[in-house]
A = this chain, B = another copy of it.
Amino acid sequence: MNTDPKLNVVPFVSVDHMMKLVLKVGIDRFLTELAATIEEDFRRWPVFDKTPRVASHSKEGVIELMPTSDGTLYGFKYVNGHPKNTRDGRQTVTAFGVLSDVGNGYPMLLTEMTILTALRTAATSAVAAKYLARPNSRTMAIIGNGAQSEFQARAFKSLLGIDRLRLFDIDASATRKCAENLAGLGFTIEECRSVEEAVEGADIITTVTADKQYATILSDNHVGPGAHINAVGGDCPGKTELSKDILLRSDIFVEYPPQTRIEGEIQQLPAEHPVIELWQVTTGETEGRRSADQITLFDSVGFAIEDFSALRYVREKIAEHGMFTELDLLADPDEPRDLYGMLLRCEKKLNAA
């Protein structure tokens, strides 16, 4: 019999609560702990159920479901990508997610994931760079100064101590916004007028542009020996940011090859082109950076396990800090087989009132 009076309830983290949770924990600590959770899950990568995301493409964009499970917990994210959305004041990418108990299938958490995805994407990039960038890296170029740019900057400062930024966007007002948002945090910031200028002296090059049609943000001559490229923006079939020549000079690290082959920069390469799975670098099975001259590329597309980690982390944090409401999401009749009777009892109650 039902002993828990609240089997119907699922904790819900709204956008407002997510912001307050992140601020309560502190952005730096949130990113650092989230990165540690992601790294923890990367290290046990083989236990996860893995599948390329389930995408529904349309002329305007894409809606995707990204499920995964470690056998104990199940998580999925709903996420859209609609580049033209900003024209009428909407986000290019919005997301929400659910964490469930595999044992009974009941959701345990429903949360906004627009902000959370921005944080987990940045945290994942920083985890990759920890293994792939030159250890003495201090300077990062950020090409594309939209919604993801500041999160990348904060994560790279928190996890790697990157404190010199060189910003470029084809829209100078985006660069201005990014620089202003990052003021007072100990960064030295250069607002640059071209990609060439931005990458000058950069140890790490982060590309985070959004538009579907741009083909080559970064050309081969932009990338010097020893660079680590953190390619975040290319994450759709037909959407890439780097010239193919860069790929051919780089050691390429990816999350989940079957998905990255479809969505990442490596869609430009033959299917048999060698790539290294990032999780194997985190476990030590494979080397990350081997030399100071090597060009490393993290071809980031975002994988379900990172969202799983983020859901898991948020669940821990709300247990500590609150910042959720209770959603009456699951039918919970007094007797489990009597769903219809629940409707009848509701009717009686309404008639009596």
Contact = CB atoms under 8 A, between A and B. Distances in A.
Contacts of A338: 147, 177, 181
Contact of A3 (B15, B89, B103): B89
Given A56-B69, A78-B76, A105-B80, A91 B327 contact: no
A65 interface: yes
Contact of A336 (B61, B62, B86, B98): B86
A287 interface: no
A336 B91 contact: yes
A215 interface: no
Contact of A15 (B2, B14, B329, B336): B329
A327 B14 contact: yes
Interface in A134-159: 146-151
B96 A107 contact: yes
A335 to B, nearest CB: 7
Interface in A47-73: 49, 51, 54, 56, 58, 60-63, 65, 67, 69, 71
Given A22-B343, A118-B339, A118-B340, A60 B7 contact: no
Contact of A105 (B8, B27, B94, B118): B94
A339 B115 contact: yes
Contacts of A181: 338, 340-341, 344
B94 A80 contact: no
A147 B328 contact: no
A71 B1 CA distance: 44
A147 B334 CA distance: 12
Contacts of A19: 342-343, 346
Nearest to A19: B346
B94 A81 contact: no
A92 interface: yes
Nearest to A4: B89
A65 B69 CA distance: 13
A271 B301 CA distance: 37
Contacts of A106: 80, 90, 94
Contacts of A328: 14-16, 112
A54 B51 contact: yes
Contact of A12 (B4, B107, B327, B350): B327
B337 A15 contact: no
A4 to B, nearest CB: 7
Of A1, A337, A347, the most chain B CB neighbours within 10 A belong to A337
A46 B49 CA distance: 31
A102 B63 contact: yes
Contacts of A342: 19, 115
Contacts of A337: 86, 146-147, 174, 177
B74 A56 contact: yes
Contacts of A107: 78, 94, 96
Interface string A250-270: 000000000000000000000
Contacts of A74: 56, 63
24 contacts: A2-B90, A12-B327, A16-B328, A19-B346, A20-B350, A56-B74, A56-B102, A58-B103, A63-B69, A65-B67, A80-B105, A82-B103, A86-B337, A90-B332, A91-B332, A94-B105, A94-B106, A94-B331, A112-B329, A112-B330, A112-B331, A115-B342, A148-B339, A181-B338
